[in-house]
Amino acid sequence: DAKTTQPPSMDCAEGRAANLPCNHSTISGNEYVYWYRQIHSQGPQYIIHGLKNNETNEMASLIITEDRKSSTLILPHATLRDTAVYYCIVRVRSGGGADGLTFGKGTHLIIQP
């Protein structure tokens, strides 16, 4: 089962910042937070990941609380093409076994024109 909790859906106006929350209160010290998104009829796409520091790349920013029990994905200037299902996933970063991703139901983000 997924170790994260996300709201099922959110709306955001085009051009505004989209802030997607994720709760992962049982996260372990060696687990990272990963974000993927899935645009309709496509496979999931990696966005960003982090351990405890805030991270930023060309797609988004990831803010992780100090206690690591929750995080927020920020799309700074949302466009219509950002409409997708966003998945927050926790997983260890290294190990000797399998590393498949455990997806929940995610958040369906709808960008309104």
Partner 1 sequence: EAGVAQSPRYKIIEKRQSVAFWCNPISGHATLYWYQQILGQGPKLLIQFQNNGVVDDSQLPKDRFSAERLKGVDSTLKIQPAKLEDSAVYLCASSTQRFTYEQYFGPGTRLTVT
**Nearer Cβ to partner 1 (18/87):** 87
Provide the β-strand partners of residue 108. Answer: 9, 85
Shortest Å, Cβ 18 to partner 1: 19
Cα–Cα separations (whole angstroms), residue 18 to 9, 26, 74, 80, 101: 12, 25, 6, 12, 24
**Nearer Cβ to partner 1 (14/108):** 108
Shortest Å, Cβ 81 to partner 1: 17
With CA atoms as reference, report the closest residue to 102 among 21, 19, 10, 24: 24
What six digits make up the tokens of 36? 């993927």
Shortest Å, Cβ 33 to partner 1: 11
With CA atoms as reference, report the closest residue to 106 among 34, 27, 4: 4
**Nearer Cβ to partner 1 (2/63):** 2
**Nearer Cβ to partner 1 (17/92):** 92
Q: Which residues bind partner 1 (CB under 8 A)?
A: 2, 32, 34, 41-46, 49, 85, 87, 92-95, 97-106
Shortest Å, Cβ 52 to partner 1: 15
Three-state DSSP state, 81: helix
